[in-house]
Amino acid sequence: MKLLAVSGSLRKDSFNTRLAKLIADASNVDIDVATLHEIPLYNGDDEAETGIPEAVETLRRRIKAADGLIIVTPEYNAAMPGVLKNALDWLTRPGEEMKPTFGGRPTALAGATPGAWGTAFAQAGALINLRQLGCWLFPDYLRISKAGDRFDGDRADDELKGQVAGWVKRFVDFAGRG
């Protein structure tokens, strides 16, 4: 079993990238962490002129090599950040790549925020997009509120570590049934 956790934040001290790393460390399963720093803005003219950027193809290869995908999304104005949606858009190009990249792939949503609602709104919106992509959605969401109180640098408090470990175990079981 091999999983890929994709962080939707570009920020150096991102809670979501820290959460993705915590997810990767929470289990004996091989979980890679990807970020989206190299993905350009989608522009249909660029696609027509130069095709799919290498950074998109690299991310696609990593997704296809994984038995499950974990999207770790920040919440911006009650939605996933444009950076993450942009990456999902690129990954569905050309259209015939959408199914082999996402179709039937076990996919989980996680997110962290300094706010009170654990990225619930971003995750709810992302469900619509991921359903459209044909992902096999894990109906158990990791939502971390008050993230500033839960992390000390890269270290998480014990309760958070336990919460993440339990959630990852449940997702591994779910992905294993695929």
CB of 41 to ligand FNR, least distance (A): 17
Of the pair 120, 168, the CB lying nearest ligand FNR is at 120
- Listed in sequence order, the residues at least 6 apart from 39 whose beta carbon sits closer than 8 Å to its beta carbon are 53, 55, 56, 59, 83, 86, 87, 90
Closest CB to ligand FNR belongs to which residue? Answer: 115
User: Contact residues for ligand FNR (CB under 6 A)?
Assistant: 9, 11, 14-16, 74-78, 113-115, 117
Q: Per DSSP, which regions of the chain are E strands?
A: 2-7, 30-34, 68-72, 106-112, 136-137, 142-144, 151-152, 155-156
Of the pair 13, 30, the CB lying nearest ligand FNR is at 13
**Measured between alpha carbons, how far is 115 from 104 in angstroms, rounded to an integer?**
32
Of the pair 20, 137, the CB lying nearest ligand FNR is at 20
CB of 47 to ligand FNR, least distance (A): 27
Of the pair 106, 118, the CB lying nearest ligand FNR is at 118
